[in-house]
Amino acid sequence: MQTLPGFRDFYPDDCARRNYILTKWREVARRYGFVEYDGPVVESMALYEKKSGGELVGQMFTVGATADPGSLKGVLRPEMTPTLARMVTARERDFKKPMKWFCVPNFFRHERQGRGRLREFYQLNCDIVGEPTPAADAELIAILIDMLRAFGLTEADFAVRLSSRTAWQQFFIQSGGKPEDEYEFFQIVDKAERNPPEKTDELLRKFNLTAQAVLDFMRSKTPTAELVPVVEGLNARGLGGFIDIDYAIVRGLAYYTGVVFEVFDRSKNERALAGGGRYDKLLSLMSDGKVDLPALGFGMGDVVLANLIDDVPAAAAQRDAWLKQERACDIYVVVAKEERRSDALALVQQLRDAGQRVDFPLTAAKVGKQFQTAELLGATRAVLVGDEWPQVKVKTLATREEILVPIGEIKTALGQ
């Protein structure tokens, strides 16, 4: 039996690769003073229906008990932002503002699979709540850039395409559009680069707008007054080279309000690596106006990132070096004489208690076989317990160098 399409098994090698990504994400988040949180895997469908909008709502997996399928009305979480908004509004007073929170959950979306698109994926979320100034937008985009630099990716590999829903809002209103039609208009803009102009013309007709007018605005590269301080904040950090002003970005989800952005690889082989922006009205919407806090954040998926790491040789080499470090054991205890097994077990225990990663053969095996296992497990040293007892042989596997060590001095010999 195989997994359902789009879901993933994580064999130990896959798990190690996933852990590489999650570990780096956590390291960078800590460097920026973000704290980790999490929510439930199953949420109520209503949480997303109004708040997320767009395609996402039709992509949710519903959850029910086999005995009573209709009992729960739950869905597997497809994203984090509504959960975060729910959690923050419930206990808003307990947290000092601005709040800088991150999480690394797995999400589920019933999407058509393709490169970088699965039905289960991990996504780093970083969000800042309670700070209306552009200093927060710059800080958020700075952490986003550093999240990718941590993997050995550079300005040559990816860019942040920075845009603004406010700019599009003004464009729409100035062209005679009504605020209640805004989201429909954003969705047309979101697809304008992909759809043929005739199709966009047709969709825009009811707003008295043309594909040409939308495409002309999209291609203007001048930052709006809202974006200028964000760009300045990034320039001051030396990160300006990662930014492209690009009004083609509007984001599909309904809740975004101001600055929005997506990250793409420069070669454009992949779908977006990450996306986010301001959602200043969501917390108020979630709490029926009781908690009105500005917020902004982004999500970065593991699938697209893993593809890009594979594509960039320096990033792949950095990952492979990390994976090697993470090998299963440091020291392999070779039981060269079965009569000495209980001494070997005592040694294994002593080394493990001292924090070493240690393995040994559970049953009798030829010494040559044991060395093969040691190599396979990535051990750097083998300790032979045999004829020389109460001395043991310590062998450095890379150089084949051997020294004889009295058992009482083994910890010093192994550099502890």
Which CB, 147 or 304, lies closer to ligand HAM?
304
Which CB, 300 or 335, lies closer to ligand HAM?
300
Listed ranges 37-45, 114-122, 377-385, 408-416: which one lies at the site for ligand HAM (CB under 6 A): 114-122
Q: Is 152 in the site for ligand HAM (CB under 6 A)?
A: no
Binding mask 306-325 for ligand HAM (x = CB under 6 A): --------------------
Please give the Cα distance from 371 to 390 (Å, whole number): 21
Q: Is 259 in the site for ligand HAM (CB under 6 A)?
A: no
Question: Which of 98, 134, 177, 276 lies at the binding interface for ligand HAM (CB under 6 A)?
Answer: 276
Q: Is 60 in the site for ligand HAM (CB under 6 A)?
A: no
Listed ranges 7-15, 31-39, 269-277, 331-339: which one lies at the site for ligand HAM (CB under 6 A): 269-277
- The residues facing 114 across adjacent strands are 117
Structure tokens at 309: 């790491």
Question: Which of 186, 298, 332, 360 lies at the binding interface for ligand HAM (CB under 6 A)?
Answer: 298
Which CB, 117 or 281, lies closer to ligand HAM?
117
Least separation in angstroms between residue 173's CB and ligand HAM is 24
- By CB neighbour count within 10 A (0-12 exposed, 13-18 middle, 19+ buried), where does 69 fall? exposed
Q: Is 264 in the site for ligand HAM (CB under 6 A)?
A: no
Least separation in angstroms between residue 259's CB and ligand HAM is 11
Which CB, 116 or 177, lies closer to ligand HAM?
116
Listed ranges 9-17, 29-37, 116-124, 355-363: which one lies at the site for ligand HAM (CB under 6 A): 116-124
Question: Which of 103, 272, 336, 374 lies at the binding interface for ligand HAM (CB under 6 A)?
Answer: 272
Binding mask 74-103 for ligand HAM (x = CB under 6 A): -----xxx----------------------
Please give the Cα distance from 279 to 142 (Å, whole number): 18
Which CB, 17 or 109, lies closer to ligand HAM?
109
> How many positions of this chain bind ligand HAM (CB under 6 A)?
25
Question: Which of 92, 127, 137, 265 lies at the binding interface for ligand HAM (CB under 6 A)?
Answer: 127
Structure tokens at 49: 């229906």
Please give the Cα distance from 318 to 394 (Å, whole number): 30
Least separation in angstroms between residue 277's CB and ligand HAM is 7
Question: Which of 299, 308, 315, 382 lies at the binding interface for ligand HAM (CB under 6 A)?
Answer: 299
Please give the Cα distance from 313 to 320 (Å, whole number): 10
- Asked whether the beta carbons of 44 and 80 are under 8 A apart, the reply is no
Which CB, 274 or 331, lies closer to ligand HAM?
274
Q: Is 304 in the site for ligand HAM (CB under 6 A)?
A: yes
Q: Is 118 in the site for ligand HAM (CB under 6 A)?
A: yes
Q: Is 121 in the site for ligand HAM (CB under 6 A)?
A: yes
Q: Is 294 in the site for ligand HAM (CB under 6 A)?
A: no
Listed ranges 66-74, 122-130, 140-148, 405-413: which one lies at the site for ligand HAM (CB under 6 A): 122-130
φ/ψ of 164, rounded to 5, equals: -150, 125
Residues that bind ligand HAM (CB under 6 A): 79-81, 109, 111, 116-118, 121, 123, 125, 127, 253, 272-276, 297-301, 303-304
